[in-house]
Amino acid sequence: ALDNGKPYQVALDDDIAATVENYRYYAGWATKIIGQTIPISKDYLNYTRHEPVGVVGQIIPWNFPLVMSSWKMGAALATGCTIVLKPAEQTPLSLLYTAKLFKEAGFPNGVVNLVPGFGPEAGAAIVNHHDIDKVAFTGSTVTGKYIMRQSAETIKHVTLELGGKSPNIILEDADLEEAINGAFQGIMYNHGQNCSAGSRVFVHRKHYETVVNELVKMANKVKLGAGMEKETEMGPLVSKKQQERVLHYIEQGKAEGATVAAGGERAFEKGYFVQPTVFTDVSDDMTIVKEEIFGPVVVVLPFDSTEEVI
């Protein structure tokens, strides 16, 4: 909540709970790293053996700093690797505190190493270092392509989790109450700052008007405020840069002819708030339909047949 503005209760119920669950899960890996013995003939056999990759460089984003780090660090530690992790420059506090907990838990020096900093300096140093054997990155597709190219120079193992433009499809026979609620949560959860956010909602034309009206009602009811306030349902975006990015996309949508059915503006004079926004009258060639916005902005498009929408 202090690090990236998400509501305190969401951070407690979702991020903290998931982080604990992830570390407990990966702790179980440590006793299950076994190989296989495969008889080939009377006199010969093959066997497999799992060994640590070595030093793992990890670069995580700012939208779920604790959860992302637990996915990456839990797996690496359970398999006997050491870690050099760079948190996002916007959210170093969560990981600095996590590093303190690792120290208190008795981890030897050098097993978990935290390198706060900006991508072009700290991130690039991890990717290009000859003694780092694997890079695990979560973030933008553009940066992921760069990491893949650079890692090839030193033949590193690479794992990438990149952006997307996820669709939700509401069919003619859908349970509308469930579908509408799911579609709304799918885009507005974590302020839309989610690589799998359902930023496109395709609705069978029979239900289009109903779905739009309900999404608009839900968007207009969202309680915006500071993350530490109990009644807050949606906090600020992570930074001024991110706020400006989302607002730019909203203006781009308006300029290309889309209709703002709800929201569409910044909220409050102070803070990096953006109103939950619903766009209608959109087409597949519009920027807001094609590009990842990473904010509380959803576009709603009608369709007539399953074959058409798929």
Phi/psi-derived region of residue 273, left when phi > 0, alpha when psi is between -120 and 50, beta in every other case? beta
- Contact 51/78 with Cβ under 8 angstroms? no
Q: Which residue has the tokens 């059915």?
A: 261
Q: How many CB atoms lie within 10 A of CB 168?
A: 20
Backbone angles phi, psi at 208, to 5 degrees: -55, -50
| CA atoms of 54 and 35, how far apart (whole Å) | 18
Catalytic residues: 161
- Per-residue tokens: 269: 């004079």
Contact by Cβ (8 Å): 256, 235: no
Q: Bridge-partner residues for 135, per DSSP?
A: 57, 158
- What are the backbone angles phi and psi of residue 130, rounded to the nearest 5°? -70, -25
Cα separation, 251 vs 273, whole angstroms? 16
